[in-house]
Structure 1
Amino acid sequence: MCGFLAEFSFEGQPLIALDDFKSVLALSKHRGPDDTGMYNSNTFRLGFNRLAILDVSKNGNQPKLSPSKRYAMVFNGEIYNYSHLAETYKLENLKSTSDTEVIIHLLDLLGVEDTIRTLNGMFAITIVDTHTNRCFLARDFAGIKPLFYGLTQEGIVSASQFDQVYKHPWFKNKRQLRADIVKEYFGFGYMQAPNTIYENIFQVNPGELLQVDVSGSLSKKQLVAFENNQEKPISKTDDDLEYTIKDAVKRQLVSDVSVATFLSGGIDSPLISAYAKQAKPDIEAFTLKVDDPKLNESEVAKNYAKALELKQFVVSVDNSEILKSINSHFHAYPEPFGDYSSIPTFVITREAKKRHTVMLSGDGGDELFFGYPRMRDVLNKRLWFKIPFHLRKFLAKVTNTLGITKTWAPYFKTLDDFITNKHLYLPQVILDDIFHETSFSIEMKTLYQFKNASRKELVQQLRKNEFYAHLQRVLIKVDRASMKHSLEVRVPFLDKETILKSWELTSDLKHKTDLKKPLKNLLKKEVSELLINQKKMGFSVPLYQWLHNELKTDVKINVFDTPFYGADIMNVEVLRQYVDDFFNKKHDNSWGVWHIYAWQKWASVHA
């Protein structure tokens, strides 16, 4: 796990000064504190900050050249099938035991595209083909690892961090905000690939391979994509699923540094921890204890640890300590980010790093295995949208008045609007007032297009949306928080084989018990069902209380007394009025207020 910076100049254009390159590379030093390396040529430059996980010797350092010297590469992440690939392709003369070594040998053997297709892992890769003078960017199929790039007339810059691109001298004085993506940030709380808030700066999509030549001609190819198809019913695949997840956990335990698991009171992390214990009996489970009884899951986690006979380390952090971490936590997010659960994530990853360098998490379980109640709500109300809008509104008014139903769903013009609203943290009407005559990007609209087909077909569409939309925000949260502390977090549910297996599963979600049913069935084999059925509290903080009390002064300073970043593309008065209404208790949307506050905090720290 690391951080990198690369620049590839277009025909006749010079590279930036070496000292300037080093300064921008240093922005990601926390992602890789163990070594810094560079490779220079006349037309491209690669820089790398290494967090040593596999082959911690200098033999694992980067950048690396392929044995033929044709390919130069920097790679952030972990390849879990690297040993299998080395054996399959009978790779010889390997100079290190790292996964990077396997990739550079495969490049000579298979070429870029076929090499990327073989990989199972989490990765962001920049490769320069010195024979054809082309630069390639590749990102893992789930979007676990970040990969930003920017295009100018001088060339292309790729990096692990957003700020490494927009602070690069080729972009430093050319920043222009995109109103549609800024609007998406205020609504959804993050930047959805492939876009960013700045013109000409982008993210590589999950599973995408991008190539650009010295003339600046750019092309993209989707190498891996997960669609809506399903083949097998859940009840017949539990055994296969168990084997698949266990195998993924076993692969992801391979490390030359210490590995542990996060353990909460839910379903996902206990299952990962259970399988990790079976593969590595001495593994430690790490749990955060907070002093708010409504948010503290440590007691449930302790029960899981006891049942699984896990060695558990519980770290207690009180609210005052978490509050003190908020300002430093904003330094971990080089892009605007509005999910306030990033605060406890920042704290627990900081504490985990004191004991370990690699952690396994349960992220991805909700998205892959139908874990969100909002999915059931959409399915249960989908038939409203088969009725013409005006008739539907009249019927809803009648049924709501008579108490037959109580729902606002029929008042949305389309099913797409209804589902989108479930993911927005500022109301659509407020967003439209802030950004006059600005709609969401075509990419975001496409993510929220649904066919109101059968129940089972729609649930597959909803899962695809959760995977390529909401999950991306979760992954941003965890990657930025953990890597600020030089901690690698691995995600067994997002192993390539686990994703493929999960995509065979379907459900109509007719009952609450159907939510995450495949994982619950597996966990029942490991612990008592009574323990599983305890209510999940969520990984959060008492935000409403904090905004009205401890954080109120800072919110007011940043929102009312500080010039708004991007004021020329938005109606700042609407934003300020929304925050003022919150303090006057005209609404209780603390999450939406946090998005506004977090925007200003990001700008003050990073912009």
Structure 2
Amino acid sequence: MCGIWAIFGSDGEISFQCNSVHKITHRGPDAFRIENINHFPNSCLAFHRLAIVDDLCGMQPMRTFQHPYIYLIYNGEIYNFKELQKTFGFKQDTACDGEIIIHLYAKGGIEFAAKHLDGVFFFCLMDTANRKVYLGRDTFGVRPGFRISTEDGFLAVCSEVKGLIDLSYDNGNASRSSKIEPFLPGHVETYNLDNKGRAVMTERIRYHKIGEEPAYPTFPVSIVGDVKQNIREFFTMAVKKRLMADRRIGCLLSGGLDSSLVTALVVKMAKELDFGYKIQTFSIGMEGSTDLLAARKVSEYLDTEHHEIVFTPEQGVKAVENVIYQLESYDITTIRASVGMYLISQYIKEKTDTTVILSGEGSDEISQGYIYFHKAPSSNEASEESLRLCNDLYMYDVLRADRTTAAWGLEVRVPFLDHRFSSYYLSLPNALKRPKDGIEKHLLRSAFSGLGLLPDEILWRPKEAFSDGVSSVTKSWYEVLQDHIDQQINDQELEDSKAIYTHNAPQTKEALYYRKIFEKFYPDMGQLIPYFWLPKWSQSSDPSARTLKHYKQ
């Protein structure tokens, strides 16, 4: 987890523009570097580093002796870089996984490079010999990326929006909200550079779609006739890949199926690979929350070094403003669920030496785990909804996982969004993936049943939304928020707001409260969120699973 920033063709004072890079220092607390590119005026690359692999030689912008005309900044992990070295006979100057991007590009071009990467990434590659700039992002958008691109050649790139909002461009005539855009997952873009450092886009290619089987050389998994065995093998390998690190690895553990399954496999592999330390696990909730109780059972079963963080209603409410600043979102369910993850990340940073954390994000989208999937009219519609959620993940749950952890200089890894596991699971017959016998994710649960990996009460524990699982038994997190917000927003203010915020107009006081905080940090940028996350096939106007009949039962 790092932070990248780049600017090309700036008409403003370049030293002033470069001050914006310091707004993403949290993403890379270990080192910082900024480099102006020779012979390209008004252009520079900058990088904040969190050192996970090759602490000595992994600083960026990266160049190699073999290809000195290529500059690379990237945020991500390329899990198959050693397999690619063997396949193509590449000789690397460093032990960094990302260096492989330079060699792949030099061999076959940018689309060739992106198609061969098994991992998560957002990169900016500059080819000074051919006067080109390339941007690329992983298939699910696990690593964040934003850019400003104008017709007259101004290009700015950053891991987060906050690193772009103070830049001047287009002679001050353009609206910021219409210019700062998320870089689309699964795409690469090509820009031509002129002698003034201006970058004009010439091509955008979607190199990989969610659900498509990738064809790159990576860790082998043989497909057999037993679907459940295939699921086990693909997911086990997805977890194993993500243990690539020179820093201590831990797990977020809510006690639900997804995080418990990830943790069980990490613990098992840590013993097999002789990590030399116990896996630290972390759970959070208000006093007496169901997540804390379930996570404690999993930790005892797996014998982890477990940490419980209990937060008060006051601490949760106080954190909301910082959470919205870090998220760059005003989506209701994203914010509710992010507070606990933000507070637990703060604890990990301040109280432990764990830096890489594995988490269960992505499972509900891949395996139809949300409770509203019980109401799907048909298997086909359920699968279509699953794919839609996967394509939008980068704006919701994946965004939450990245920003709340990156805010505290941690790196989150999400094995459920592994290319091979996800493409296999999504390719299965629609009827197999639907909830069965009143239980969501039945196929995933049954694939790991009977192995002793987890207690049955955890393996078959019903789904709870993250923001619900952290709730106290006496007063829910939802109720805490509503009580606080009722004192901040009145009925008339809510009614008036619908004329002010025409895109995603607030329908509740909670929505308006979050929007006002968002606008304070990111004025007129409401378009960053295309819609509010809501359950489908439901009449509810609230995103919480608690409103669904199946949940109440």
TM value normalised by structure 1: 0.74
Q: CA deviation at 1:477?
A: 1.1
CA distance in 2, matches of 1:149, 1:272: 33
CA contact (8 A) 2:211 2:422 kept: no
- Matched-pair contact (CA < 8 Å) for 1:375–1:459: yes
> For each residue in 1:113-171, what CA deviation from the matched residue of structure 2 results, as whole angstroms up to 9, or x when unmatched?
21111111110011122233221110000111111111222421111111322321226
Match of 1:520 in 2: 445
| Residues 347 and 228 (structure 1), Cα distance of their counterparts in 2 relative to 1, 3 Å cut | same
Structure 1 residue 464: deviation in Å?
A: 0.7
Q: 2:210 aligns with which of 218, 222, 226?
A: 226
Structure-2 residue corresponding to 1:255 = 245
* 1:412 corresponding residue in structure 2: none
Q: Give the aligned partner of residue 56 of structure 1.
A: 55
In structure 2, do the counterparts of structure 1 residues 596 and 568 end up closer, same or farther at CA, with 3 Å as the change threshold?
closer
Matched, 1:330 2:321: no
For 1:323 and 1:569, locate their aligned partners in 2 and report how far apart those are by CA, in whole Å. 24
Contact map agreement 2:257 2:458 (CA 8 A) in 1: no
Is the 1:272–1:362 Cα contact (8 Å) retained in structure 2? yes
State yes or no: 1:530 paired with 2:457: yes
Counterpart in 2 of 1:191?
Answer: none
Partner residue in 2 for 1:90: 89
Instruction: Report the RMSD for the aligned CA atoms in angstroms.
Output: 3.0
| 1:169 counterpart residue number | 168
Q: For 2:123, what is the secondary structure of its paired residue?
A: strand
Secondary structure at 1:254 match in 2 = coil
1:7 aligns to what SS in structure 2?
A: strand
Q: Please name the residue that 2:74 is paired with.
A: 75
Q: CA offset at residue 312 of structure 1? A: 2.1
> In 2, Cα distance between the equivalents of 1:531 and 1:81?
32
Task: Tell me the CA shift for residue 46 of structure 1.
Answer: 0.8
- Overall identity of the aligned pairs, in %: 21
Partner of 1:104: 102
Can you list the C-alpha shifts for 1:563-599, whole angstroms capped at 9, x where unaligned? 97x9666399x85xx5xxxxxxxxxxxxx43332111
- In the TM superposition, 1:404-419 aligns within 5 A as none
Which residue is equivalent to 1:448? none
* Alpha-carbon displacement from aligned partner over 1:350-402 (angstroms, at most 9, x marks no partner): 112232111000111111112123223122xxxxxxxxxxxxxxxxxxxxxxx
Is 1:602 the equivalent of 2:518? yes
**Residue of 289, 292, 315 corresponding to 1:298:** 292
Q: Classify the secondary structure of the residue corresponding to 2:75.
A: strand
| Pairing partner for 1:469 from 392, 400, 416 | 392
**In terms of mean alpha carbon deviation, does 202-211 or 546-555 score higher?**
546-555
Runs of 5+ in structure 2 lacking a partner? 194-198, 214-222, 272-276, 524-553
Alignment of 1:357-436 (within 5 A): 357-379=355-377
Amino acid at match of 2:402: D
Q: Tell me the secondary structure at the aligned position of residue 326 of structure 2.
A: coil
Contact 2:154 2:170 survives alignment (8 Å):
no
Change (3 A) 1:107 1:604: same
Shift of 1:513: 4.5
Query: Any gaps of 5 or more consecutive residues in structure 1?
Result: 178-197, 380-454, 579-591
Q: What letter is aligned with 1:55?
A: D
Q: How far apart, CA to CA, are the structure 2 residues paired with 1:501 and 1:65?
A: 36
1:123-272 to 2 correspondence within 5 Å?
Answer: 123-152=121-150, 153-170=152-169, 173-174=172-173, 176=175, 198-214=177-193, 216-227=200-211, 236-272=226-262
CA distance in 2, matches of 1:141, 1:544: 33
Distance (Å, rounded) in 2 between the aligned partners of 1:297 and 1:513: 21
Contact kept? 1:2, 1:48, Cα under 8 Å: yes
SS in 1 for 2:178: coil
User: In the aligned structure 2, how far is the partner of 1:325 from the partner of 1:514?
Assistant: 34
Counterpart of 1:4 in 2: which secondary structure? strand
Query: Which one of 88, 110, 113 corresponds to residue 111 of structure 2?
Result: 113
Structure 1 pair 315/22, CA: closer, same or farther in 2 (3 Å)?
A: same
Answer whether contact 1:162 1:335 (CA < 8 A) is retained. Answer: no
1:404 is matched with which residue? none
Q: What's the CA shift for 1:319?
A: 2.5
TM-score (norm 2): 0.80
Question: Structure 1 residues 264-273 or 463-472, which shifts more?
Answer: 463-472
TM-superposed deviation, 1:514: 5.6
Retained in 2: the 8 A contact 1:263–1:285? Answer: no
SS of alignment partner, residue 327 of structure 2:
coil
Cα deviation for residue 480 of structure 1 reads 1.1
Kept in 2, the 8 Å contact 1:143–1:206? The answer is: yes
Shift of the 110–358 alpha-carbon distance from structure 1 to 2, 3 Å rule, reads same
Give how far 1:292 is off: 4.5
